[in-house]
Amino acid sequence: MDASKQFKNLGLSKEILSNLESLGYLEMTPIQEQGLPFVLGNRDFIGQANTGSGKTAAFGLGILAKLDVANPRPQALVLCPTRELAEQVCAEIRRLARFTNNIKVLTLAGGTEERHKIKSLKQGAHIIVGTPGRIKRLLEKKSFSVSNVKILVLDEADRLLEMGFLDDINDIAAFTPINRQTLLFSATFPHGIKTLSASIQEDAAQVTIDSQHQQNSIKQVFFDVTAESDKFDALLLILGHFKPESSIIFCNSRVICSKVTQMLKRRKIDALEIHSDLEQPDRTLVLTKFANKSCSILVATDLASRGLDIKDVGAVVNYDLPSDHELYIHRIGRTGRAGKVGLALSLFAGKEKAILDSIAEYLKITPQLMELRALNKKKPFVSQSSMSTIYISGGRKDNIRPGDILGALTGDAGLLGKDVGKIQILEVNSYVAIASAHVDQAIERLTTGKIKGRKFRVGRA
């Protein structure tokens, strides 16, 4: 272990360091190593690094180190481009804050009833994470105050600008104290970022982590497909040969995304699709099932290539090559995270050869080409998930914690701990991954039993 990359060099409290060790955070990533000294030193900061580089911990630790737990008013405000990212950033900050039970982190984003959020705000929150539209609306309604905010964070700032949030960001910043610290994190650095920084930051330090740093952790393989119509058969060959435990298949349009998903399902292959046409609750459920291993294949448009903290993806498959090399980098950045070796498998046909050449030139690589006929064709690809997801009609508003659900499942419901997977607590409901062989047993016992002395609706998600 490189001593210079250890968190103990930052002067963090023993409680924070102990929690980091329990989470398996043994060494700082490059953005943490170079950025945290500025963040902890109260300097305005711009960090440019790819998705999955550890940016959340870079600003999350800075927030937690400066928090006055005795003050229940918001002291940090984190703006995210989407509800999904806001939920995931919130969950990561809660993990980092496990060293004390008294830190409250609240998500303010679309998709849940506003009255629930207003009620939670009245009970106090140390850290607010949310989307600009919802946060601005609640500030204008005077539902909460940010007069005590010490740190304002813009996560995925380039995406915030792409989605037209510039005016909202400036309006929100105007509500906060002028002497706050402002942190800006971005995967790319378009001209608009400089303009934004000039309007809300002062003498910001800047750290750029070269996108090339991830090349050694991701094996990239390209397959020349004769015609567009041959891509699906090629996809099955690739999945059958490499057998990833989980994979995201990227398509360039919603139509292709839906088509590929339906063809996989007709082959009895567990697959879910995600794109911008899905309603917010459906998108949340799809991502939950993929994250908790109830589904091993996610077919996605580029909605899922940015800002979604999907961990442990065995392989990324580019069914279509993206025309933008930055999008290619964001897509393959879903795999090979946290020191693991990832796999990026890309199909190209006809005119896409020019796109491949552009990507190779930008990344300064010689593409590794593999013949489809060289792949193992002996067995057809099969993927059936060993886990299933159930929902429970209770969440954070009911003060339910993961331990409450686990206790009910392993107690009265009679399941073993190994039969219970990831537990996700949302504002008004919860999702739990259960070994498929025991899902009916879990639903029956929870339906007739209680969680924290209360009855809740339970069913398959």
Whether the predicted pLDDT of 12 surpasses 80: yes
Please give the domain boundaries of the chain with CATH numbers for all domains: 3-209 (3.40.50.300), 214-374 (3.40.50.300), 387-460 (3.30.70.330)
Say what the pLDDT of residue 187 is: 79
- Helices marked H in 41-141: 55-65, 83-96, 114-122, 132-140
Convert the pLDDT of each residue in 168-177 to its tens digit: 999 999 999 9
Alpha-carbon distance of 48 to 51, in angstroms, equals 10
Say what the pLDDT of residue 254 is: 92
Alpha-carbon distance of 332 to 142, in angstroms, equals 42
pTM score above 0.85: no
Alpha-carbon distance of 160 to 163, in angstroms, equals 5
User: Of 6, 4, 52, 3, nearest to 26 (Cα)?
Assistant: 6
Whether the predicted pLDDT of 205 surpasses 80: yes
Tokens of 358: 């552009």
Other Cβ atoms within 10 Å of 213 Cβ, number: 14
Find the mean pLDDT for residues 119-127.
Answer: 88
Whether the predicted pLDDT of 309 surpasses 80: no
- Residue 167: phi, psi to the nearest 5? -65, -40
More confident residue, 246 or 303: 246
For residue 214, give Cα distances in angstroms to 85, 117, 320, 337, 342: 22, 39, 22, 9, 10
User: Of 326, 315, 316, nearest to 355 (Cα)?
Assistant: 326
Convert the pLDDT of each residue in 269-298 to its tens digit: 999 999 878 887 888 889 889 988 999 999
Find the mean pLDDT for residues 452-459.
Answer: 91
Whether the predicted pLDDT of 372 surpasses 60: yes
Alpha-carbon distance of 414 to 221, in angstroms, equals 46
User: Are the beta carbons of 250 and 320 closer than 8 angstroms?
Assistant: yes
Find the mean pLDDT for residues 101-119.
Answer: 81
User: Are the beta carbons of 34 and 85 closer than 8 angstroms?
Assistant: no
- Residue 5: phi, psi to the nearest 5? -100, 10
pLDDT band at 363 (very low <50, low <70, confident <90, very high): confident
Say what the pLDDT of residue 213 is: 47
Whether the predicted pLDDT of 121 surpasses 50: yes
Find the mean pLDDT for residues 298-307.
Answer: 76
Tokens of 79: 């703006």
Sheet with 151-154: list strands edge to edge: 105-108, 127-130, 76-79, 151-154, 181-186, 45-48, 205-208
Instruction: Specify the 3-state DSSP secondary structure of 81.
Output: coil
Say what the pLDDT of residue 214 is: 54
Other Cβ atoms within 10 Å of 141 Cβ, number: 10
Alpha-carbon distance of 87 to 59, in angstroms, equals 16
Convert the pLDDT of each residue in 45-74 to its tens digit: 999 887 667 899 999 999 999 999 999 999
For residue 344, give Cα distances in angstroms to 120, 316, 321, 377: 42, 5, 12, 20
User: Are the beta carbons of 56 and 85 closer than 8 angstroms?
Assistant: no
Convert the pLDDT of each residue in 209-252 to its tens digit: 865 545 567 899 999 998 888 999 999 999 999 999 899 999 99
Summary mean pLDDT of the chain: 88
- C-alpha of 349 from chain center: 31
More confident residue, 66 or 428: 66
User: Of 53, 44, 64, nearest to 307 (Cα)?
Assistant: 53
The pLDDT > 70 percentage for the chain reads: 93
- In order, the DSSP letters of 242-271 are H--SSEEEE-SSHHHHHHHHHHHHHTT---
Q: Which of 54-58, 125-129, 272-276, 311-315 has the lowest mean pLDDT?
A: 311-315
Question: In this structure, which amino acid lies at residue 368?
Answer: Q
Q: Which of 9-18, 189-198, 199-208, 306-315 has the lowest mean pLDDT?
A: 306-315
Tokens 């349009």 belong to 253
Say what the pLDDT of residue 455 is: 92
Question: In this structure, which amino acid lies at residue 148?
Answer: N
Say what the pLDDT of residue 85 is: 86
> Cα torsion at 166, 169, 170, 176 (round to 10°)?
-170
